[in-house]
A = this chain, B = another copy of it.
Amino acid sequence: MVIQADDIRSAAERIRPLARRTPVLSSAAFDVEYGKHVYFKCENLQNGGAFKIRGAANLILSLPNAALAHGVVAYSSGNHAQATAIAARHLGAQATIVMPEDAPRSKMEATRSYGARIVTYNRFTDSREQIAGRIQRESGATLVPPFDHPMIMAGQGTAALELLEETGPLGALITPVGGGGLLSGCAVIAKAIQPAIRIFGAEPEGANDTFLSLLAGERVAVRPDTIADGLRSPKPGELTFPIIKSLAERIALVSDDEIRAAVKFLLLRLKILVEPSGAAGAAAVLFRKLPDDVRSVGVVLSGGNVDWEELARY
């Protein structure tokens, strides 16, 4: 495996100036209703509104000054863009973010407010990877990939490290799965701390690439169609997938309606705003997709960036 538990422990030290130790919430009423002890790790309350700062900070904070002087580049229309911008600004490095020209204004504004330069592209005619590659070549900037990099994966794993430090042993851990950075990092540290813990991922039915890949035994691509915009990666990562294959018991699939219900539940009962992508793990627990004999479960709520208009549509 490309990352070990010690990489995650080192990441936890490294990212301390940038990543918050987010609270772990539980609800006695919820536990009674579902017959499980459920602990929610609130990455929606994280700096930048999502867990993404953990990985981006881990990579960027480990760059030598000579590399930082040339800046960093990332392609993302969502939380990874903001995370990269925040971490770069902290070190005085220029961040360039490649975003689709039809990305929500609010996300562009947020990213720009952190001091990033935004380069837009046409989602139908351009390749964002090629644009980012050109920026790398021209400026010498370092690419900050969204998930498929050991430093990113190790950074994301710090969410599970903090969670287990706070809860003690758990029966299971579940996180949302996009490209698999969060799940792979969390799985490595959780299994190191507690080998008997059962690891689950949560994917939307409309973006079930990791589910299908685990069935096939190899990486399979899909055309994502889900409200969970952060989980719309078409294919698991080259580095993340072998870890998930080796450590995860299975992927729980949730429908968009189940995700919406989970967002609403978390808002009204836990009093926290979680974005659809961030609520996939909670949806899996709420709709009883985990085995009955799992008595206690840690759920990573991975982000909270929702527009008011989007929320109002629920």
**Chain A residues with a Cβ under 8 A of chain B:** 23, 25, 28-29, 44-45, 47, 49, 113, 264, 267-268, 270-274, 304, 306-308, 311-312
Collect the chain B residues with CB atoms within 8 Å of residue A273's CB.
267-268, 271-273
A271–B272 CB distance below 8 A: yes
Collect the chain B residues with CB atoms within 8 Å of residue A271's CB.
44-45, 49, 272-274, 304
A113–B45 CB distance below 8 A: no
B308–A268 CB distance below 8 A: yes
Q: Give Cα distance in the complex from A307 to B268, angstroms.
A: 7
**Closest 6 pairs between A and B when the two form their complex, measured CB to CB:** A271-B304, A23-B23, A271-B273, A44-B271, A267-B273, A272-B272
- Ordered by A's residue number, 25 sampled pairs between the chains whose C-beta atoms are within 8 Å are A23-B23, A23-B45, A25-B45, A28-B47, A29-B113, A44-B271, A45-B270, A45-B271, A45-B272, A49-B271, A264-B308, A267-B273, A267-B311, A268-B273, A268-B306, A268-B307, A268-B308, A271-B272, A271-B273, A271-B274, A271-B304, A272-B272, A272-B273, A273-B273, A312-B312
- Residue in chain B with minimal CB distance to A268: B308
Main secondary structure of the interface of A (DSSP, over half): helix
Residue of A44, A47, A113, A270 most packed against chain B (CB within 10 A): A270
Q: Give Cα distance in the complex from A49 to B308, angstroms.
A: 22
Collect the chain B residues with CB atoms within 8 Å of residue A267's CB.
273, 311
Residue of A28, A267, A274 most packed against chain B (CB within 10 A): A267
Q: How far is the CB of A48 from chain B (nearest CB, A)?
A: 10
Q: Give Cα distance in the complex from A272 to B301, angstroms.
A: 13
